[in-house]
Structure 1
Amino acid sequence: MSTTPTHSSAMRTAASHARPNNGYRTLWRWHFYAALFVMPFLVVLAITGTIYCFQPQIEPLLYPHRLVVTPRPAPRLDENTLLSRARAAMPPAAVATTARIASRTDRSAEFIFRLPNGTKRSVYVDPYDGTVLGTLDVDRRFMQIDRMIHRKLLLGKSGELLMELVACWTLVMLGTGVALWWPRRTGSLRALLLPDLTQRGRPLWKSIHATLGIWIALGALAFVATGLPWTGSWGKQFKALATSVKLGSPPGAWGGLPVSALKPAQANGSNAGQPSKGSPSKMDDMPGMTMDEMPLPQVPWAVGAVRVPQSHETSASPEHALPISLADIVAKMRAAGLADGYDIALPATESGVYTVSYFPVDPQLERTVYIDPYSGAILKDIRYGDYGAIGKAVSYGTSLHMGRYFGLANQIVCTALSLGLAALAITGCLMWWMRRPSGTLGAPARERVAAPMRGWKTALVALGVVFPLMGLTLAAVWFMDRLVFSRASASATA
């Protein structure tokens, strides 16, 4: 009879040790699949993202003879003259699309042209004497190639979808990784946050991998989340949805606004060339381009889905006022408080407008301005305060994600997170290689008794609903796990 309490105590002790590991192998199995997929891509993302983060410092070093000039006491030439010099350096059929406005005394003036074969080329002009310093293929600039590798692996739409999947599966990897480590280190905060350097071999790499993951998990989660709105599939749909429910771009832009760009006619009264005040705008009925489709290097996320206005004929008269010049637009923007670091998309047709995009490091200073090319009237001046709640949040997330918001410190934080994710991928690969039985995938064994894990199942379903492409791959992995990898690896250890 004396053995009963001892037996009960032993049962309770065994149960207490078993509970924390309930579902452990299931989590490990999903962590394994997620990591196996994202590991090589995380290294690519880390390297390209870190390089792009330091674009302001790197580009002048790569192209010093084009981007950098010697400051002089002589006044700068006006933008019309500089554009004319740049145009003279291009083939006759080249079309000027964009002017990049910078007032720094040590920077050249840059103009972007579209060539007949569809390529884009930047022309750099000395702002003091008008000398053409050289040209660069826009799509072959080092930073543009780096950016396209980061976004789509230079594989077009398929690469864009692949990188979106990588971001989503990184969320699964981070979530399961924290869950795997956290319950097993509740006894010591030091063991949770610091690696055990007394270990050797795979246990040492496991300790380093786990504690590194704990340190960067929250920042890495934010890193991934702030990058997703810029993806080509889900991000584009998310932007369109936010715009349609008035939480992205300014509420009502352009719907119902009494503004439009006008071509001044010969006989149109005293209001010729001024925005129409007497009738609602018909912008919503127009098939105009969106801001994301404009020939601009970058535009604020919140206005990406906003359609750009066009001019309207006011009479059948063939005589129209001449459009105002680029120098006039620069002077107008200076008077409106914008002097440096913005881009101007030039009107491509007689019905086009000047589109000014200002994408600074501080989201609250972002501006998008549309200017009538005939009257010079500002049709719309969209600022941060006009954004919806989602647009404001994404703007801050973007600035932080790109390492722009608080200068060098932000760049260092982004670098630490990027390299931390790369280190997780490398250490995880080492652990898998050391543990993997020869000739097999080496997936962790399944639970002998399936755990309910309702919370995790709900989270995965929610992830699949929010990210439909991710949902399809989740279902595919579950299906393959049941049919292709159904045999548990007996050699897998915790």
Structure 2
Amino acid sequence: MNKGLYNRFWRWHFYAALFITPLLLTLTLSGIGYLFYTNVENKAYDHYFFENSTHTEKLTIDEGIEKAKEKFKGYSVSKVIVLKDPYNTRLTMDNKNGDEKYVFLDDNYQIVGSQDSKYTFSNVMRNLHSSLFVGGTVVNYLVELAACWAIFLLLSGVYMTFKGKALKKKENASKRQKNKKWHALVGTIITIPMIAIIFTGLPWSVFMGNFIYTAAQEHPSIGIPKLQQSPPTSDMSEIPWATRKNDAPSSSKEGGHAHHAGMSMPGMDMTSSNMISVQQLMTNVDATKISKPYSIIYPSSEDGVYTVAKSSNTGVTGLDVSPYDEITTYFDQYSGKLISKVGYDEYGILGKWFTWGIPLHEGHLFGWPNKIINLLVCLAFIFVILWGIKTWFSRKKKGEFSAPPNTSKGISVGFGIIMVVLGILMPLFGISLIVVALIESCIWLFRKKTIQA
């Protein structure tokens, strides 16, 4: 066994785990919570989702929307979520301060109740999982970096398992050896499924998300032809991954307008007497054979369009569909005419992969078995983390840190190649490696000067 290479991996494995364990536990536990958000919300919010208002008068959906705007002064409707029975219709309402409410309408389009979007179970779990409730670029980078280093931990763990023969049966094994064996065994078993879960979550990330979309744009044969993309964000979650923030076509209007349509902004009420009603739009949607569930996103400007979308990764209870059924359509806001549409078959290989990958990551691609598999992998990952800590304490000497031994040898070619490959596959991880290398160089220079002095 190459002792220098083994010790190098062991040392980096140890320190990486030491620094990111709190983050990994938080991300894994919040990920488990998010796996079951639809089940939790169906029970916790059954009144909003399934029950009726005390008012029995039958309204049109547009009258229901107007009632909601009257009740919640200062708020305007930006999205209408049309779900299958027995779910109620959900309105997304925003004000100029960026506050967001969900308002539920029953079969008569009477108001059943409302929620502050910040405190729904799905949004709490999502915000904890993606940004630790803090948000901001630095925190998002930190979360993504923890995911990247988790992949290094898994791969380096597999290397040490086989090189160190951790699974080899030993007679009269010590407590430390038994702990090490369990840590190595479970870690090895979950390496492939855990890496799959992590990689299918990276399209939502800040740094690698941009990298993926850039690749999709610059290489149409494997990406998404003719679509202008940017990294996905939670506030646009009702639109499929492959067409989020797409450069939507514009509605025609007498006199003409510049083609700069987009999605609704908080507090913007684009409704006017010239726009078709939501009921008319829904009739046109039915005529184009688009079945429920789907979301309607209001135009954001006078030449904007209604966007009607079905997605496999919405983050909205009752709204997800099969990846094959994904479609994004654009309707003229004045005539209600279907202008254009983008479906799953038009995605490139990369777009199709992540259209399947994200629901796999979220645990609803193939129903309950997906949830159970993800749950077991996450629980096993927590076991590996905690057993790693237990293994450290079983070898830790009293009053000492007991870090893995440092190696006097320089970085070997094998170690360098492995880290470069990982750095290329995960650019943010590569940048962090450069930072680590600079820190180690500074420490080495400081020690050298100290010895010389």
TM-score, normalised via structure 2 length: 0.84
**1:225 corresponds to 2:199:** yes
Any residues of structure 2 matched to 1:110-259 within 5 Å, and which? 110-128=90-108, 130-156=109-135, 157-185=137-165, 201-247=175-221, 250-253=224-227
Partner of 1:308: 248
Partner AA of 1:175 in structure 2: L
Tell me, in whole angstroms, the C-alpha distance in 1 between the residues paired with 2:364 and 2:57: 31
| Distance change (3 Å), C-alpha of 1:80 and 1:451 | closer
Contact kept? 1:169, 1:470, Cα under 8 Å: yes
Q: Helix, strand or coil: the match of 2:255?
A: coil
State the 1:176 CA deviation: 0.5
Matched letter for residue 437 of structure 2: W
Answering whether residue 343 of structure 2 is matched by residue 383 of structure 1, we say yes
Instruction: Return the offset for 1:400.
Output: 0.8
Q: Distance in 1 between matches of 2:222 and 2:302?
A: 30
Q: Distance in 2 between matches of 1:150 and 1:186?
A: 33
Residue deviations 1:31-78 (CA, integer Å, cap 9, x gap): 11221222111111111111111111111222222222269xx99854
Are 1:328 and 2:315 matched, yes or no? no
Q: Encode CA deviations 1:231-263: one digit per residue, 9 max, x unaligned.
A: 022212321331233257642247xxxxxxxxx
Q: Which runs of 5+ in 2 are unaligned?
A: 258-271, 313-320, 448-453
Gap runs ≥5 in structure 1? 1-18, 255-288, 489-494
Deviation of 1:331 (Å): 2.0
Q: Is 1:100 the equivalent of 2:77?
A: no
> Judging changes above 3 Å, is the alpha-carbon distance between structure 1 residues 63 and 197 closer, same or farther for their aligned structure 2 residues?
farther
Question: In the alignment, what sits opposite 1:30?
Answer: 12
Pair 1:299-2:208 in alignment: no
Deviates more, 1:245-254 or 1:206-215: 245-254
Distance 1:125 1:451, change over 3 A: closer
Distance 2:210 2:300 in 1: 25
CA drift of 1:440 comes to 5.0
Measure how far apart 1:430 and its partner are: 2.0
Deviations, residues 411-464 of structure 1 (Å, cap 9, x unaligned): 011111112222211111222233334555432113355573x33311211322
Does the 8 Å contact 1:292/1:299 carry over to 2?
no
Name the counterpart of 1:338: 290
Contact 2:224 2:350 in 1 (8 A): no
**Mean alpha-carbon deviation: is it higher for 331-340 or for 215-224?**
331-340
Which residue matches 1:85? 67
**In 2, Cα distance between the equivalents of 1:76 and 1:231?**
44
Q: Quote the offset at 1:126 in angstroms.
A: 1.8
Instruction: Determine helix, strand or coil for the equivalent of 1:478.
Output: helix
Deviation digits for residues 192-227 of structure 1 (CA, Å, limit 9, x no counterpart): xxxx89856332221211110011011011111111
Q: Take 1:478 and 1:51, find their aligned partners in 2: how far apart are those partners?
A: 36
Q: CA RMSD in A?
A: 3.2
Q: Deviations over 1:331-367 (max 9, x none)?
A: 2222323222221111233222101121134211111
Structure 1 residues 340 and 440: alpha-carbon distance in aligned structure 2, compared to 1, 3 A threshold: farther
The answer to whether the Cα contact below 8 Å between 1:291 and 1:307 also exists between their aligned partners in 2 is: no
Total equivalences in the alignment: 423
Matches within 5 A, 1:49-60: 49-60=31-42
**Does structure 1 residue 461 correspond to structure 2 residue 413?**
no
Q: Is the 8 A contact 1:239 1:305 kept in 2?
A: no
Distance 2:129 2:172 in 1: 38
Task: Give the equivalent residue in structure 2 for 1:397.
Answer: 357
TM-aligned CA deviation for residue 314 of structure 1: 4.2
Q: Distance in 2 between matches of 1:439 and 1:308?
A: 63
Q: Decide whether the 8 Å contact of 2:206 with 2:231 is kept in 1.
A: no
Q: Does 2:429 align with 1:447?
A: no
1:486 and 1:175 map into 2 onto residues whose CA distance is 30
CA deviations on 1:135-175 (whole Å, 9 max, x unpaired) are: 11112222202101101112212211101101111111111
